[in-house]
Structure 1
Amino acid sequence: MAGGHGFSGAGRVLGKLVGPRVKWLVVVVAVLVSAAAFAFAGEPKAVSTTAASLPDSAEAAQVTALREQLPSSGVTPAIVVYKAASGEIDTQAVTASRDRAVAAVKQWAPTGAAAAGAPASAIPPQVSQDKGTALVIVPLKADLPDQANSDAVAALRAAVRDGLPQGLTATVTGGPAFGADIGAVFDGADIKLLGATAGVVAILLLITYRSPWLWLVPLTVVGTGDQVASKALTILSRISEVRADGAVTGITSVLVFGAGTNYALLLIARYREELRRTEDRHEAMRAALGSAAPAILASGGTVTLALLSLGLADDPFARSLGYAGAMGIVIALAYALLVLPAAMVLFGRRLFWPFVPHVGTQDPSHAGAWRRIGETVTRRPVVVALASVAALVTLGLGGLSLSVGQSPNEQFLAKPEAVVGQEQLAAAFPAGTSEPTTIIAKASAADAVTTAAKGVKGVQEVRKAGGDDKLVELSAVLDASPGTTAAFDQVRALRTAVHAVPGADALVGGTDAEALDSRTTAAGDRLLLFPLILGIVVVVLLLLLRSVVAALVLVATVVATYLASMGASWFAFEHLLGYPPLAVSTPLLAFLFLVALGVDYNIFLATRAREEAAGGASARESIVMALAVTGGVITSAGILLAAVFAVLGVLPLVQLAQIGVIVGFGVLLDTLLVRSVLVPAVVSLLGERFWWPSHPADRAGSHRVRS
């Protein structure tokens, strides 16, 4: 039996849960547990649209924390942009619209100390130099829950447009508006994602099995596991700092559906194989679990540990996704290895109609297309390996110009109102007007810090925005467009200038500073987590295959897949799709998914090859037979997983679409080229050295002697 003793032992234990009577108990318990999750999960913890997106140590995060100590804390500005179709702005109409807006959002407006200073209704509109555009600031409470923020922005948008004269338009932008528009992206997203994912999986399972009802069993089991994982995430969000927002929930759902279906495909394929050898379906499933469970557990364990490693990231989004995804994969494993086997044996071999596997019939895969591919590849391994490597290198070259870092305006596939407003502001006012940079310093050094800030090239204006007897808050308007390289350079220069003021303890924050710190945080996370994730994969492969060479070869192939996929995808984003740069967390998430999930197929292939080698086959013979019997199911699993990740594109966020393309293409590349062509060629070249320092046949023989 393939794999380490722990994995194989788990397969034998799981096999005891598919007996004639026990199977019913397993199914009933699964139904009760699932029903309890649906009944008692409740609602996820409400989160603020301005919740921290940086570690506490980041300078921009320190500014946010200090601002909360000031009397003006608890305020976030919504910006209303008025634009005249022609001529000059009607300031009286703008003033009337502003007053209606202030009244409409009164219940969400700051009160008490947070509202210190001039009331919003007393702040005159700010008119552009050409008199064609005006802006009005409407302060809202900071830390509004998502739904309350969305309600406030909706009321504000309705109020500012009510009664406007013809030829005058009003657009709401600013932090609250971006939060509301992002929230709108995820309205009904769970249903949309579930429907699209389930539809894709159903179609591919139907094509794979060519049975009118077999596909219903894995789809029902995996779909139920997905919904249980969603409910478990809801509970986790209430007892921890994990955020159950739309992005985390959506990616977790895709992980559960994709991984769970992959595990189901592998198990069912092995079960069908055993039904050709064994009359009793319960014994067939026990044998299938004994063979498939080690590979599935190793695969799921790799992904789970890799996701848990995100807990060490400084990026709060990555941490939340890591914990949520790890929990989801564990649930997917439970439903694939506990519930699915019991559900399958309930129906017997008739479930496979019209292609029912009978005892004694030859498995068609033994002499099928994948065997012929394996023989062709291993007949000329040098040429095939060099051609495969050349293809991967060529694809990877597309990433030489890769750019990371999206501005707020670039994160949507379809342009929402908040982005339109930002563009109108940028065209009429200094670029940083809508998102001024914040400086916090000791009150005693206010004048010196103001002077230092004004001396920085690109700083248009510096004014006092609040403070108390200890701290002063200054607002600096930059002339660079928010989120651009020029804006980041100006933030760096501003930090250098104010840090140099003696005794000021000045810090620089704000939207551009947060984006800059996010880039720095993401770079640090990549430096830490890339080698850690690789280490986890190597250790799992060593435990499973007991071969140093095999572990290093397989890890090298998935890293090559990642680099090639990033290069090819970036070429498509830049030259074909016109997408903006990658979000700062995308390279790390793509690396995790492609390395941890991509190694799955190599695990499935290598464990089967090891099983054949344990029976006395040579390295070349074992990899050809492994490719013959797993090629079809692994290809189906890869196509299915790629399609499931592509479903992320139904949500109009650039980051999710980019992750879907990168991972989807990478999985197909790994499935169709790396696992099917490159790995067999390398195994054939290395021969028995592939299993160094041990050999499966030696361990199998010693095990038989001890037995």
Structure 2
Amino acid sequence: MLWLLLVAVGGSFAAKLGSVEDNSPLTWLPADAQATRAVKLAEQHFADKDHSAAVVVYVRADGLTARDLAKIDRDREQLSAQVTHGDIAGRQVSHDGRAAFLTMPLRTSPSENSVLTDAVDQVAKITEDDAPAGLDVRITGEAGSNADFFRSYSGMDAVLLGSALAVVALLLLLTYRSPVLWMVPLITVGVATQVAGGAVYLLARHAGLVVNGESVYILMILGVGVGTDYALLLVARYREELHRHHDRHTAMLVAVRRCLPTVAASAGIVSAATLCLGFGRMNSTRGLGPVLAIGIVVVFTAMTTLLPALLVVLGRWVFWPFVPRQDPGYATAAGRSSRAVWAKVAALVGRHPRVIWLATAGVLAALAVGTASVQTGQSNAEMFRKTVDSVAGQQLMAQHFPAGSASPADIYVPDTGTDAARALAVVEPLHGVASATAVATREGWTHITAVLADPPDSPAARRTVRQIRAALGDGPQRVPHAAVGGPTAVALDTADAQSSEEKLLIPLVLAVVLVLLVALLRAVVAALLLLVCAVLSYAAAVGASSLLFHALGYPRIDRGLLLFGFLFLVALGIDYTMFLMTRAREEVAQRGHREGVLAGLTVTGGVVTSAGLVLAATFTVLATLPTVAALQQGLIVAVGVLLDTFLVRSLLVPALSLEIGPRIWQPGWRAD
């Protein structure tokens, strides 16, 4: 009854989750970055809050005609009256006479992406109506880019969740070979994701939790994948116990008691690892951690309370046609599986442990070499999997105007009499600056725009922004308290923050995971072994994924993907080896070290492999999203999970455990 109430309330709140998403620049920028200060100055002194600049580009290959110019002037009047509610600066015409552009501020909203997309659509309607034949019209600039991004993701939450559930349903059906059983975990996962979404909504609405589009779709995918993994473990153990016990309540009680420590440890490790993101510099990073931790806690609670209740209420028939019956001759899963594939794998590992761990580590190390091919710093054109209007417009701008015309740098300086003039004198001569103009003076501050000679998303443009900041902040012509912002500055500060986050958060996550592993396994050597294997697996996943990205034609990645991949691959990859080692320790206590490790591999082989396939397939669903970043996020996690499932957990860890011997359980206890 409690879960019925929770899903009824949580589902209604989850439906409103989009209304509390905050995709404003301040949500993504580092809190202490200069670009962040520039955004705040713009909002405080220049009424630029909830506004974004759009640039309309007009191009005719053989030169603009009088009709074209007249059309541009009419558009300017209509846009001023209907869209921006203010005057728009006159058209700028290129030296070759083939292109012109208009720049205008459009209203946006942190929580409603439709406000900006509707404004851009209105601009498109006005500029395209009655356009002379052959005149190419595109909308670019910050507003155009954001609108294309929002439009690409519009309605994708439902598609993503539906695709993930469909993939999981298919894999569960193949795993259980039952027309009924697969529905029970799927229903439980669906309930858990809705309740988690509702909890996130309430905290965002009333407790100031920062939620953006990225955190919402990662929450859904992680909830479905991890929840299904937990369900696979519990159902497998429950089926095993049904062979031992006549009463299904007793069987479930034993199954939950045996699974709970491992599943709780898994949920604890993933939650603790994600909460480490709260120490990041990026606002988006700090907000992502609590969102994912909430999802994991809700999913864990559902899988250890709701799922067992449903299975017990439904009875043994839910496993039809392979209904487990009490079998007095049923010894252990290891005994029943002696002829199974995983028993053969365990036997192979037992015969040649040194050869296997050396070969497996060699393969992973070879894949890790691929990290040398990693290229960071995606341009706007590389963010989308198809050419969008804003990218085409930026490319047209670069052909006829200084490449940075569509997205100039915004410089804010105190207006104390000579500061503005001194800032212009410092900025204009710098290499990489095409022009600099003071566009507004208000409330003791002057706004200067600097058009960059290079594309705003290029490394050269970032170097120019660094030069501007250095020139204004140091030397005889320095301008105290000046702030340099704009799209290029945002990209620069974001990349710098991501780099510093890696240096802080990666060691922090490793330390937290190690402490939790030691507490769970009560063995320092085993915990260190699992952690080292997870790091090697992560490096191999990055290397293999980088080669895959090159093959797919998307060689560059967003720098944040490295931290994203590390967090999920270490936290989730540890799960599979932890499932193996906790069961191995249980078997070691009865059989001795060697036989216990091999029995643990045999017992967990099938279910953990199924869990890995489900999680990998779930993250692959991110490939349905239209951005390159989402595709790469899904692939790097999928590749890493598959490496953990088939190489690390199946071969490397058990082979090393045999090589090290009973000492692996030190200093907690040893089994000879």
**TM-score, length-scaled by structure 1:** 0.90
Q: How big is the shift at 1:568?
A: 0.6
Contact 1:248–1:324, Cα closer than 8 Å, also in 2: yes
1:245-260, aligned counterparts within 5 Å? 245-260=212-227
Question: Partner of 2:60 in structure 1?
Answer: 84
Aligned match of 2:534 in 558, 561, 583?
A: 558
Deviates more, 1:54-63 or 1:280-289: 54-63
Provide the C-alpha distance between the structure 1 equivalents of 2:653 and 2:14, rounded to a whole number of angstroms: 44
Rate the CA distance shift 1:685–1:566 in 2: closer, same or farther, 3 A: same
Q: Alignment partner for residue 606 of structure 1, among 572, 575, 581?
A: 581
Aligned residue for 1:626? 600
Matched to 1:473, the amino acid is: H
Matched position secondary structure for 1:452: helix
**Runs (5+) with no aligned partner, structure 2:** none
For each residue in 1:583-614, what CA deviation from the matched residue of structure 2 results, as whole angstroms up to 9, or x when unmatched? 12211111010001111111110000010112
Q: Which residue of 2 aligns with 1:192?
A: 159
Q: Where does residue 562 of structure 2 map in the other structure?
A: 587
Match of 1:11 in 2: none
CA distance in 2, matches of 1:31, 1:52: 34
Deviation for aligned residue 1:40 = 5.0
Q: Distance in 2 between matches of 1:142 and 1:41?
A: 23
Aligned twin of 1:704: none
Query: Aligned residue for 2:521?
Result: 545
Residues 580 and 353 of structure 1, relative CA distance in 2, 3 Å threshold: same
1:611–1:696: 8 Å Cα contact kept in structure 2?
Answer: no
**Selected match of 2:384 from 408, 412, 418:** 412
Which structure 1 segments of 5+ residues have no match?
A: 1-27, 110-114, 699-707
Which of 356, 366, 370 lines up with 1:384 in the alignment? 356
Query: Number of residue pairs matched?
Result: 657
Is the contact made by 1:46 and 1:146 (CA closer than 8 Å) also made in structure 2? no
Aligned: 1:439 with 2:415: no
Aligned partner (choices 651, 657, 668) of residue 677 of structure 1 = 651
Q: Secondary structure at the match of 2:435?
A: strand
Instruction: Give the direction of change, closer, same or farther, for the CA distance of 1:240–1:428 in structure 2 (3 Å limit).
Output: farther
What's the CA shift string for 1:85-140, capped at 9, x where partnerless?
4333421122123323333314xx4xxxxx6xxx21xx221111221111111222
The residue type equivalent to 2:385 in the other structure is L
Task: Give SS of 2:315's match.
Answer: helix
How much does 1:409 deviate?
A: 2.9
Instruction: Indicate how the Cα distance of structure 1 residues 260 and 71 shifts in structure 2: closer, same or farther if over 3 A, else same.
Output: closer
Corresponding residue of 2:549: 573
Once residues 13 and 626 of structure 2 are traced to their aligned partners in structure 1, the CA distance between those partners, rounded to angstroms, is: 31
The one-letter code sitting in structure 2 at the alignment partner of 1:254 is I
Aligned to 2:613: 639
**Aligned match for 1:453, one of 407, 427, 432:** 427
Note if 1:691 corresponds to 2:641.
no
Distance 2:562 2:93 in 1: 42
On the 8 A contact 1:488/1:516 being kept in 2, the answer is: yes
Letter in 1 for 2:161: L
Alignment check: 8 A CA contact 1:172 1:418 kept: yes
C-alpha distance in 2, partners of 1:613/1:295? 16
**In structure 2, what residue type is equivalent to 1:549?**
V
Q: Which residue of 1 aligns with 2:101?
A: 135
Give 3-state SS (helix, strand or coil) of 1:400's partner. Answer: helix
Q: Which residue of 2 aligns with 1:98?
A: 76
TM-score (norm 2): 0.95
Residue correspondence of structure 1 range 48-197 to structure 2 within 5 A: 49-71=24-46, 73-74=48-49, 75-89=51-65, 90-106=68-84, 109=85, 119-120=87-88, 123-141=89-107, 143=109, 145-197=112-164
Compare 256-265 and 475-484 and name the one that shifted more.
475-484
Once residues 532 and 359 of structure 2 are traced to their aligned partners in structure 1, the CA distance between those partners, rounded to angstroms, is 16
**8 Å CA contact 1:100, 1:160 repeated in 2:** no
Q: 603-612 or 41-50, which moves further after superposition?
A: 41-50
CA distance in 2, matches of 1:205, 1:69: 54
Letter in 2 for 1:620: R
Change (3 A) 1:503 1:412: closer
Deviation larger for 86-95 or 670-679: 86-95
Aligned to 1:310: 277
Shift of 1:175: 1.4
Q: Residue 225 of structure 1 contacts residue 331 of structure 1 at CA under 8 Å; is this kept in 2? A: yes
Residue 31 in 1 paired to residue 4 in 2?
Answer: yes
Q: What is the one-letter code of the residue matched to 2:69?
A: T
8 Å Cα contact 1:449-1:504 kept in structure 2: no
CA contact (8 A) 1:546 1:694 kept: yes
Deviation at 1:365, TM superposition (A): 2.3
8 A Cα contact 1:86 1:167, kept in partner = no
Change (3 A) 1:502 1:126: closer
Against the structure 1 CA distance between its residues 40 and 677, is the aligned structure 2 distance closer, same or farther, given a 3 Å change threshold? closer
1:487 aligns with 2:461: yes
Alpha-carbon distance in structure 2 between the residues aligned to 1:460 and 1:191: 45
Check whether the contact 1:50–1:142 (CA below 8 A) recurs between aligned residues.
no
| 2:620 counterpart letter in structure 1 | A
Task: Tell whether the 8 Å contact from 1:104 to 1:159 is kept in structure 2 after alignment.
Answer: no
Which piece of structure 1 moves more, 606-615 or 64-73? 64-73
RMSD of the alignment, in Å?
1.7
Structure 2 distance, partners of 1:56, 1:531, is 22
Asked whether the equivalents of residues 81 and 171 of structure 1 are also in contact (C-alpha less than 8 Å), the reply is yes
Shift of 1:492: 1.1
